[in-house]
Structure 1
């Protein structure tokens, strides 16, 4: 009866679940900033957005944040430096919540909250078996 409640056999899919998590979140992060990377107009809009919410040096912070998110996304997809990428993801989206998303309430900040939690899970658990990190660990 305990096995029916706890479903221990699902643990066999942990590495695939972490791969799916990394690929999905990584692709989302890359997609989310791609327009800012490929369009000066979109980047300028992001600079104005950061300025509107009182971020310091938005002209520097906007490209930094865009490239940081792109880097985190790529690292998640590859499973490379995953723990560092997870920490950076968590910190980045804590800042987003504190500076902007908290104004939207619980529901409005939920996406950023999820990215903080996913970042923390990947930072503490690691990327799983299907990753560059795992290959590097074996060497």
Structure 2
């Protein structure tokens, strides 16, 4: 089995606790703890800050404290008309099927989680079960989608 380079980096540079078995309830994990929020948005979407504010309000309503926000915007590549392959077509797609966001952004979230000792990360985006497992392993805490709140 080949390890993801980001997993190797984080296991040596960021203390990653063992994952808890079973899916914890968001309300039980978030209440009274520090929480990070994150979201991947298309560059076409102009209301992404309001969406992040809505996630923050949900965390606060459950008794959590938002200690960091991470936004990744998927922009338009190519020429001025945006006709290059991979440009406009991919704006609404995740950077990675495994981690949703780029490895650099996930590394940034993991380092902030360790620094703030956050107990959870809540993503604006819907996450697959596989993404939840991989992100929880890399980041080192419970990972939720806004739909779990």
TM-score by length of 2: 0.25
More strand by share: 2
More helix by share: 1
* Larger relative contact order (CA 8 Å, sep ≥ 6): 2
Give the structure with higher Rg (CA).
1
TM-score by length of 1: 0.26
